[in-house]
Amino acid sequence: MRYSNATNYALHTMIHLMLQPGGSPVGVKELAEMQKLSPTYLSKILTKLAKAGLIESTPGAKGGYKISRTKQEISFLDVINAIEGDTSLFDCSIHHEGCLIENVMRQAEENMKAELESKLLIDIAKEAQAK
Amino acid sequence: MRYSNATNYALHTMIHLMLQPGGSPVGVKELAEMQKLSPTYLSKILTKLAKAGLIESTPGAKGGYKISRTKQEISFLDVINAIEGDTSLFDCSIHHEGCLIENVMRQAEENMKAELESKLLIDIAKEAQAK
DNA sequence: GATATTAAAGACTCCTGATATCTGTAATTA
DNA sequence: TAATTACAGATATCAGGAGTCTTTAATATC
C-alpha cells in the first residue's frame, strides 16, 4: 500500500503555487510541463484541490489557479485528504463492532496524521526557496 | 490507500494462535473456518508469516501452525511487514535525491511505524481473552 | 458582442495488484 | 501404507490507479 502518484503531484503543485509572486494565477499548461504531465490529467488533480478549498480557479483568458487560503493554514494533511479522500487505513471487516486490532491500527494512523497536520506547506516552500 | 485484507486476516490469525493452550499446532482448516476463508487462501498468508519467522509449520498428521518466536517479542509491525512487504508509503519519483516533501512524508510514516512496533500482539491477546 | 483562452466534467482505455478459489504435488507422521 | 498437512502454481475476477481525449461552460480582451 502506498500513497498515489496524484498525491505527490498535488503536493509539488501546491508548493509551486505558494512560491508564485503576486496574486496572478498560473495556467494548467505551465504547471503540467513542470512535472511532465498531460494538462488534462493534472486538471483532475487541481479540480480536487479546488473543491477542497485549497486553491481557486479562474477560467477564461489569463486564468489559472492560485492559492486560496491563507498560506500559513495549509498542512500536508489537507492536501492528502483532498486527493485521497479521508479514508482510514484499516477496516476490520470481521468484527463489526470495536475490534481490538482495529483500535491499535487506528491509533497508529492517528500518530501519522498528527504529524502530517503539524507540517505546513509554507515551511517547506521557504526551505525549497532557500536552496 | 489502505492495508490489504490479508494483513487483517494475518493479525487475527496470530492472535488466535497466541491464545492456543500448550504447544500443539493448529491446522489450516480450523483457522480458515474461523474467518470464513478458503484454506488454500489462508495457506498463502500463513506461508508468508512462516517465512518471516513468526510462526512454525509442522506437516503431516496432527500437524499445523504455531507461534515460533517468544510471544513477547512479536509486534504489530512484524506482522504487517511480513504480509505487505517492507515498502514505504511515499516515493517521490520527480526529485530523485533528497526531496523535501518526501522527507516530511517519511517522518510521518516513521511515527506510525513506531507506534505499531511498540504494540505487542500478546497484550491484545490477553485483552481479548479477558472478555 | 465575437473570439480566443482557459477551466470543468465526463467517458473511455490500459494496466497493475488485490482477492480468492481450485487442483495437484511433496513431505511427514500416525 | 494411508491420512493429513504444507506448498506451489494456474486461473478467474474485481477494483482502483493512471492517464488521455472530447465536449462544455465561463471569463477576459479586443
pLDDT mean for each 10 residues of chain A (131 residues): 93 92 84 91 95 90 84 89 90 81 94 95 90 74
The total number of residues written for chain A in this structure: 131
Residue A51 resides in a domain: yes
CATH of residue A42's domain is: 1.10.10.10
User: What ipTM was predicted for this assembly?
Assistant: 0.86
How many domains are contained in chain A? 1
Residue A101 resides in a domain: no
What the block records as the C-alpha cell of A31 is 504547471
Q: Are B130 and B19 in contact (CB under 8 A)?
A: no
Indicate left, alpha or beta for B64 from its phi (over 0: left) and psi (-120 to 50: alpha).
left
What whole-number distance in Å separates Cα of residue A78 and Cα of residue A96? 29
Bases along strand C below 7 A from a protein CB: 4-10, 18-24, 26-30
What does the pLDDT read at residue B58? 85
What does the pLDDT read at residue B85? 86
Tell me which chain B residues have a C-beta less than 8 angstroms from the C-beta of A91.
Answer: 2
Q: Please, which residues bridge with residue A56 across strands?
A: A66
Q: Is B19 on the interface with A (CB under 8 A)?
A: no
Three-class SS state of A4: coil
Residue A99 resides in a domain: no
Tell me which chain B residues have a C-beta less than 8 angstroms from the C-beta of A128.
Answer: 100
Q: Please, which residues bridge with residue A120 across strands?
A: A75
Residue with cell 501519522: A112
Q: Are A90 and B80 in contact (CB under 8 A)?
A: no
What does the pLDDT read at residue A65? 93
Residue A40 resides in a domain: yes
**Mutation for testing the B interface, residue in A101, A124, A126 having most B CBs under 10 Å:** A101
What does the pLDDT read at residue B21? 78
Task: Find and give the residue nearest to C10, measured CA to C1'.
Answer: A44
Residue A92 resides in a domain: no
What does the pLDDT read at residue B23? 67
Domain that holds residue B21: 5-130
Per-residue pLDDT of chain B (131 residues; tens, 9 = 90+): 899 999 999 999 999 998 887 767 898 988 998 888 899 999 999 999 998 889 988 888 788 898 886 666 899 999 999 999 878 899 887 776 789 999 999 999 999 999 999 999 999 999 988 87
Query: How far, in Å, is the CA of B131 from the C1' of nucleotide C30?
Result: 37
What whole-number distance in Å separates Cα of residue A32 and Cα of residue A46? 11
Tell me which chain B residues have a C-beta less than 8 angstroms from the C-beta of A90.
Answer: 2-3, 7-8
What one-character DSSP code corresponds to residue A66?
E
Q: Determine, for residues B1 and A88 on separate chains, whether the beta-carbon distance falls below 8 Å.
A: no
What the block records as the C-alpha cell of A1 is 500500500
Q: Determine, for residues B92 and A15 on separate chains, whether the beta-carbon distance falls below 8 Å.
A: no
Q: Is B118 on the interface with A (CB under 8 A)?
A: no
Residue A110 resides in a domain: no
H helical segments located in B52-130: 76-84, 100-118, 121-130
Which member of A2, A112, A127 has the closest CB to residue B100? A127
Q: Please, which residues bridge with residue B26 across strands?
A: B65
What one-character DSSP code corresponds to residue A34?
H
